[in-house]
Amino acid sequence: MADEGRKEREQGLKGFVFFWGWVFLITTTLVLVFKKEVDHSITPSSPDEGEELELGIVDTYAVLWKIVRLKPMLWLLIVLLTGKRVLDEVDWGREMGTERGKRGGEIAFAATDGITGLKLIGMGMPKDKLSSMAVFLTPLQVLLPWMIGKYTAGPRPLNVFLLAYPYRIFMGGVFAALVWWTPSFRLPGGDFPLMLYAIWVAGYCFHQVASYCMFVSMMAFNAQISDPKIGGTYMTLLNTLNNLGGNWPVTLILSLTDYFTFKDCVVKNTKTRIFHTAIIVGMGNCPGRGSFLCKEEGEGESIRDRTTEHRVLYSCNTKALMDQCTKGGDVCEVHIDGYYIAVALCSVIGIVWFKTLFSKIKYFQKIPRSEWSVIKK
């Protein structure tokens, strides 16, 4: 049965890729045939004005060094390396951790973006279902840049960034709450109900609004301050720094989370169990094995909250102690989950970052565009 299900999923994936592959080929061909490019650039008043400089390798790096040394660039570099990534990964699979090596995040959101997906996978959510949720996000991903672009086309595009930043920190707390809540939805077969997936899709839609606001506003600002005389060199530098600032926080937080996690070696079959108060209405109405209504027999019997004895032998925070615990037939269970500590720590850092650099980011928009130029007239 498992092999048949896997083959069906593979066939469905092949059909999906085949269909959208042809859609891509047809639409791009139509654009090539019917869309004509028109040069709307301003005609320069002199032959040299507005002309892009042709730079060699040495000259290019010399110009990059001049860009870094610009007076307003120092604080912008701090913002790029700590507060915003070059491209928000909008693919569900990447954002939720199934393609962790290709994604990045800011300091304030490193734990949420880098660990949430891994937590869900560890709870038993299939990777293919996590990735397939991106289909429901596609319309939102198409509309958001168009909608946000109206507010970032003016002289103050970073206002959108500043509005979205605290909202995205809040969404990190929402994701942590959903992760804590998710195990209670597990079905007897180990899967999760469709309602839970719908809740995650809805939560991620709200998360995408903040992500796109930050991404589009920062890219709009970078485009405004880039010097057109040196072509894409300026934008490439800003995007490279942006990308660097988007990846190192996740690497750091992933390496530190284990230090925030505390585990106990517990004697098997003594793990804490909590049953909610309920009234047994009879085994005939039992919704299925695994439900708390099936824990005891007896019609009309009341079940009170209670716990079994929890016998902790020792801490098993290291791999050696974990192996020792499991080899002895006991269970090494998480006592304090470092994920929640990491989310809280990153959120606090994000709030401090926002309070510290808020006025500086606002000031970026007041600096004359000529101050960002390397080639002076």
Does residue 229 or residue 124 have the better pLDDT? Answer: 124
Report the pLDDT value the prediction gives residue 155, as an integer from 0 to 100: 87
Report the pLDDT value the prediction gives residue 304, as an integer from 0 to 100: 39
167 — pLDDT class (breaks 50, 70, 90): very high
Report the pLDDT value the prediction gives residue 89, as an integer from 0 to 100: 42
Q: How far is CA 329 from the centre of its chain?
A: 37
Q: How far is CA 126 from the centre of its chain?
A: 18
- Among 25-39, 45-59, 337-351, the least confident range: 45-59
For residues 233 and 64, what is the distance between their CA atoms, to the nearest angstrom?
8
Report the pLDDT value the prediction gives residue 91, as an integer from 0 to 100: 43
Residue 93 has pLDDT above 50, yes or no: no
In three-state secondary structure terms, 315 is strand
DSSP state of 102: G
Q: Any residues with CB less than 8 A from the CB of 245 and at least 6 apart, and which? A: 80, 81, 82, 83, 84, 85, 106
| % residues pLDDT > 70 (the chain) | 74
Q: Any residues with CB less than 8 A from the CB of 17 and at least 6 apart, and which? A: none
Phi-psi sector, 186: left (phi>0), alpha (psi -120 to 50), beta:
beta
Q: What is the mean pLDDT of residues 213-234?
A: 86
Report the pLDDT value the prediction gives residue 38, as an integer from 0 to 100: 58
Does residue 51 or residue 333 have the better pLDDT? Answer: 333
84 — pLDDT class (breaks 50, 70, 90): low
Average pLDDT of the chain is: 77
For residues 346 and 180, what is the distance between their CA atoms, to the nearest angstrom?
18
Does residue 286 or residue 359 have the better pLDDT? Answer: 359
What's the pTM value of the predicted model, to 2 decimals?
Answer: 0.71
351 — pLDDT class (breaks 50, 70, 90): very high
Report the pLDDT value the prediction gives residue 105, as an integer from 0 to 100: 46
What is the CB neighbour count within 10 angstroms for residue 197?
17
Spatial CA neighbour of 172 closest among 375, 339, 312, 373: 339
DSSP letters spanning 16-74 = HHHHHHHHHHHHHHHHHHH------PPPPSSTTTTPPP---HHHHHHHHHHHHTSTTHH
For residues 40 and 312, what is the distance between their CA atoms, to the nearest angstrom?
73
Q: What is the mean pLDDT of residues 116-128?
A: 87
Residue 308 has pLDDT above 80, yes or no: no
- Among 6-15, 147-156, 217-226, 245-254, the least confident range: 6-15
Q: What is the mean pLDDT of residues 232-245?
A: 85
| pLDDT, tens digit (0-9, with 9 covering 90-100), for 10-51 | 676 788 888 888 999 999 899 888 877 655 444 444 545 455
